[in-house]
Chains A and B, each alone.
Chain A
């Protein structure tokens, strides 16, 4: 398990758990819910905030929030193809 904050640009993962007690309802309502795939699209120049695609939505969230969203990294497609 890792968090969205540890993804590199272009990497994907599946949301496993969201620290519901610390994350406001709004993030969930905008589509950030367990079981959904999340992709890190871009990181702002000063490493924060993060630009993600999740559940069909494109969102910008701060690193501190990203650290509260547990994911499992998806197999990197490129590496799979190489092997």
Chain B
């Protein structure tokens, strides 16, 4: 016997059963999120110590109502349990919610019938008394021929028993329970048994009905499967029959073991539903919550964000002044530190947004929003479920587009993915903030409404309007097959678990730092390199400038050399190349550089201008804003960032698809380059035309 055994556990269950809470209780902070190879579905796994010698890796599989997948997320469960290419789990823990035991046992019976070691955990056991539920556990164990554990993740009870049951995985009885094959179609399953002698009956049935969801099957097996796929309609009918018979089987068990005294059940759910989905109050409350979200994203975060901003520019200055001058110091002070700062500054906003969103989801309120908004969103080619991506999009389009996954209709999901980048993400905020500060006067109306704040709000509204109207346009023009089926559970209301909420915030923030952060950091270094290197004219800048301007004083000469250098660096050449295209919008080549580099991530725009103007000037103490305000348009002698140029830039950033990572995510989520390319050209064209119009009208 090996001394250090690691048991592989898969956690399966319906959504809203508190599966993730059980996972959090079992693993604590020993969790990591990675991606399944080839797909962007997040894989959550954790580590739990079961005894002195034995530990377990626990995989928290996406919530599903059935082993038959109807979405990308649910497909993962089938893959994890059945794909021969994966390492099978040693034991499957099915988590059920005591209040919805019937529907939860449906999934349990399917997994048990796969003949893999399976145990059942009934969560939220602490609620039984309050809801008037009584359960004969011993009888249920016998009927299900399985270990059944009562637990409460909230009260932290039963967790030790789950660990003990996992330790005992080798003795878990493998058996089938709902023996309904003969009642579905005896002849058919007799043939199945004969054809797949080596595979258990229910697995064979899933191979036959779900074979398109197994990516790699050997040819011989596919041949055997094909002989049963002659009449697809008949298969569908058999699946329906299976579902009905399975429920009959479960009903019979629950009749003997499960009692609900409905008199005890509180009417809280009923009362809350009446208010929260009310035709007027429902929308008023939702609007209030949205307002609260935006208010908190901007108001509560401005202090920590300013703090972070100052801290990083001080750090940069410190490095410049205290370390030996040279390439390395420059790289750190002008490339790496501002780069990291550009990531860290978004942490407060992302954390608060996900804090609020996960509270809304945990309490069950989000499903009510979906219910309220579905009909409205359908007019724009989307589903009620699109509300979640569109709200999340105000933080970052990347997790938002991934959240579109639980929209089951392909067309609705596709449109949601395509229009989500129009919502104003937090990366646009620094761009907006600095340009608004430059071109919009700091006036107040009636003492409260500031003109700058109002402008910001209008930009957000324009973004949402663009998302909805392009949704409408796509809805009317896109010819995409697939029906838009919609069914959603309305979970009961519950108090959010602080642990779950905090874990979600931590996980999402970490994902942002590592995912988007890496790109932003790499780009700022690349940018710094391209701005401080160039072909021969760059290297000989000093001699050329001195030769042309021999009469100038040393200070002025240095400044001339610096700007000559920038103009002839690699990035300067790139900016000059696109200058003719962007000149009609009111931009020069320096803004052009910022536009190009901000294609990596919008907020890089500000950093780039900061780098450009700081490479040019020796004055380190000026802030980015001061430098931008001082910039002069050489053609007119006016300020570079005047009102028309500023507005034109704002309009450009409202519409433009300036984010590489979003395009990459769209490619992965839609599995085709067609959609991100459409997005890129559509949005950029719209942005170009709109800012052209703005500039021409205001000039």
Contact B370 A60 (CB under 8 A): yes
| Chain A residue contacts of B376, Cβ below 8 A | 46
A58 interface neighbour in B68, B274, B374, B490, Cβ under 8 Å: B490
Identify which of B44-52, B235-243, B395-403, B660-668 touches chain A: B235-243
Contact A26 B240 (CB under 8 A): no
B440-488 CB contacts (< 8 Å) to partner A:
485-488
Contact A57 B489 (CB under 8 A): yes
Contact A31 B277 (CB under 8 A): no
Per-residue contact bits, chain A 46-61, to B (CB 8 Å; 1 contact, 0 not)? 1111010001111111
Minimum CB–CB distance for B146 against chain A, Å: 21
B240 interface neighbour in A20, A41, A56, A61, Cβ under 8 Å: A20
| Chain A residue contacts of B694, Cβ below 8 A | none
| Chain A residue contacts of B236, Cβ below 8 A | 20-21, 25
A61 interface neighbour in B103, B244, B370, B486, Cβ under 8 Å: B486
Contact B106 A29 (CB under 8 A): yes
How far, in angstroms, from A20 to B234 measured CA to CA in the complex? 11
Contact B374 A62 (CB under 8 A): yes
- Chain B residues near A (Cβ < 8 Å): 65-66, 68, 70, 100, 102-103, 106, 233, 236-237, 239-240, 243-244, 247, 270, 273-274, 277-279, 282-283, 367, 370-372, 374-376, 384, 408, 485-492
- Chain A residues near B (Cβ < 8 Å): 20-21, 24-31, 33-34, 41-42, 44-49, 51, 55-62, 65
Query: What is the chain B residue whose CB lies nearest that of A30?
Result: B65
Query: What is the chain A residue whose CB lies nearest that of B277?
Result: A42
| Chain B residue contacts of A31, Cβ below 8 A | 102-103, 106, 247
Report if A45-B283 is in contact (Cβ < 8 Å); known contacts: A25-B243, A30-B103, A31-B247. Answer: yes
Which 6 pairs of residues, A with B, have the shortest CB-CB distance? A45-B279, A46-B375, A58-B490, A29-B66, A28-B243, A60-B488
Contact A21 B233 (CB under 8 A): yes
How far, in angstroms, from A25 to B374 measured CA to CA in the complex? 21
| Chain B residue contacts of A21, Cβ below 8 A | 233, 236
| Chain B residue contacts of A33, Cβ below 8 A | 243-244, 247
Report if A29-B243 is in contact (Cβ < 8 Å); known contacts: A44-B277, A56-B103, A58-B491. Answer: yes
Minimum CB–CB distance for B367 against chain A, Å: 7
Contact A26 B485 (CB under 8 A): yes
| Chain B residue contacts of A46, Cβ below 8 A | 375-376
Minimum CB–CB distance for A52 against chain B, Å: 9
Minimum CB–CB distance for A46 against chain B, Å: 4
